Structure 1
Amino acid sequence: MAIAITLRDYLDSAGVRYGVVGHPYSTTSMQTARVTHINSHQLAKAVVLQDSEHYVVAVLPADKRIQLGRLRRKYQRALGLATEEDVGRLFFDCAPGAAPALGSAYGCEVIYDDSLADNEDIYFEGGTHTDLVHLSGGDFMKLMSNATHGNFCRAA
């Protein structure tokens, strides 16, 4: 079991306790929730967005869908999905499609959905399609303390 080196170094320097949960290869967050038997609301997924100047990692539960229009209106920014090429360049040590929820480890701005705040445990991709990072909800929120947050998702 291994997670991306940049993510590991970030977690280690933050001084939080975390675990790594190995699982069979999966390509979607809902598939990951099924194969790991983790509540999909506790599995945080990252959606990488961009505007004309910055990249933003939107973090929301696996069982939700992002509402880009709501994000655009709330933050008055022309946010759209980042290209696969840009995501690969930003998350250079991660497998394609496995960007971690801790975008701050990669120098990205982060916006998280408020629905994640009440979880006792949080899991998210470790930069691979076979490993999740497990944090207590409190430690996850500690790592999100500088992030913007709001309500920007709906049921999938």
Structure 2
Amino acid sequence: MSPRIAAHLCKVGVHFDLVSHAHTRNSKQSAAAAQLPLEKIAKAIIVCDEDRYRMCVIPAHHRLMLDRVNTHMHSHYRLATEEELASLFDDCEVGAVPALGQVYGMPVSWDEELNDTQDIYIESGDHEHLIHLNHGAFLELMGGQDHFQMSCPEDDHLSWMIH
């Protein structure tokens, strides 16, 4: 687990469990390795508007709709590059960004879809553990962070291209 994430969770005092799984490369593989439904995994996507970064937390089986983020935030965000992610999350493995941007001094917006999820699992900063949070702990960690519908199921995102 990322040292900063571990320190933050202890400081805040929320209850969490650490779930070990075989080494994976992304949230979908982590869900499969931990034998968890994909809809219980919350993944972090980092967007950037000039030099301002923001973390968007969405269900792992969804796709971020950047146009909704930009409309809601009145901004021109783009996806952060791998190089930017490595610099921002220097105590995490590439591709294992924990959904706790506030630990890294970054504002967080989270998807409304997660409001209906009772058990949420987030990356821990490595590719072999997930952090399990109940709904109350997740909401406590999100605090007063902005939340709105910013994603759609991956299949829905492309359906307009098929018809």
Give TM-score, length-normalised by structure 1: 0.95
Q: Which of the residues 84, 109, 127 maps onto 1:86?
A: 84
Separation in structure 1 between the aligned mates of residue 24 and residue 8 of structure 2, nearest angstrom: 24
Whether 1:102 and 2:100 are equivalent positions in the alignment is yes
Partner SS, residue 60 of structure 1: strand
Deviations 1:66-98 (A, max 9, x none): 001111112111111111111111111000111
Runs of 4+ deviating beyond 3 Å = none
Whether 1:140 and 2:138 are equivalent positions in the alignment is yes
Structure 1 stretch displaced more, 132-141 or 32-41? 32-41
Partner SS, residue 41 of structure 1: helix
* AA at the equivalent of 2:124: G
Separation in structure 2 between the aligned mates of residue 58 and residue 136 of structure 1, nearest angstrom: 19
Q: Which residue of 1 aligns with 2:109?
A: 111
| CA-CA distance at 1:123 after TM superposition | 0.4
Superposition pairs for residues 32-111 of structure 1, below 5 Å? Answer: 32-111=30-109
Separation in structure 2 between the aligned mates of residue 145 and residue 101 of structure 1, nearest angstrom: 13
Deviations 1:8-64 (A, max 9, x none): 001111110111111011112111111211121110000011111311110000110
Share of identical aligned residues, percent? 35
Separation in structure 2 between the aligned mates of residue 81 and residue 29 of structure 1, nearest angstrom: 17
Q: Which residue of 1 aligns with 2:12?
A: 14
Count of residues in correspondence between the two structures? 154
Give TM-score, length-normalised by structure 2: 0.91
Larger radius of gyration: 2
Partner SS, residue 98 of structure 2: coil
Structure 2: stretches of 5+ with no match in the other structure: 155-163
CA-based RMSD of the aligned residues comes to: 0.9
